[in-house]
Amino acid sequence: MLKRDLERQLAEWYGHKPRKPLVIRGARQVGKSTLVRNFAASSNLELYEVNLERYPNLADIFKKTIWERS
């Protein structure tokens, strides 16, 4: 039941235009990535993942805001 509720919440978020960025937080190994991957697959969405634990050198990309880059 929790899984369906989370999938419904994702669908509601995706349906809002314009939508704000979504951050999914939680403990390790609880299914956050799987939830998003399954939602993208079932909605025929192209998904790009950035794993900063696996590739810590990518973290520098996110340290500055858009305004600081100009």
pLDDT of 51 reads 81
Q: What is the amino acid identity at position 9? A: Q
Q: How far apart are CA 60 and CA 52, in angstroms?
A: 10
What local confidence, expressed as pLDDT, does residue 64 receive? 67
Give average pLDDT by consecutive 10-residue segment, the chain, 70 residues.
84 92 88 93 91 84 62
Listed by start position, the domains of the chain span 2-69
